[in-house]
């Protein structure tokens, strides 16, 4: 059984399935071999979005992460 290979959409490096980051949005597949390539790709996406859309999405995502962090901090706090 041959191993599936992915090609990074940012740098072109070929990497095996199970490594790297593969993002699928509807039918669009993006393969990224490292976190460095993922950051470059995601920054480029944000730069291409309309400012109003990206501001709204960024606000929602930040809020979600802040909620997760606050729950984590509450669970780690000392209980008397």
| Domains of the chain by residue range | 1-48, 50-80
At 13 the pLDDT is 96
At 78 the pLDDT is 67
Cβ contacts of 4 within 8 Å, gap of 6 or more: 16, 17
At 33 the pLDDT is 95
At 79 the pLDDT is 66
Check: CB of residue 33 under 8 Å from CB of residue 13.
yes
At 73 the pLDDT is 87
At 75 the pLDDT is 83
Instruction: Report the alpha-carbon distance of residue 7 to residue 66 in Å, rounded.
Output: 34
Q: For each successive 10 residues of the chain (80 residues), what is the average pLDDT?
A: 85 94 94 96 92 91 96 78
């Amino acid at each position: 059984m041959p191993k599936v290979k992915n090609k990074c959409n940012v740098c072109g490096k070929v990497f095996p399935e199970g490594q790297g980051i593969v993002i699928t949005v509807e039918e669009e597949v993006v393969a990224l071999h490292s976190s460095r390539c993922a950051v470059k790709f995601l920054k480029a996406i944000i730069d291409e979005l309309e400012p109003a859309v990206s501001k709204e999405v960024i606000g929602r995502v930040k809020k979600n992460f802040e909620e997760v962090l606050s729950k984590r901090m509450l669970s780690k706090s000392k209980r008397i």
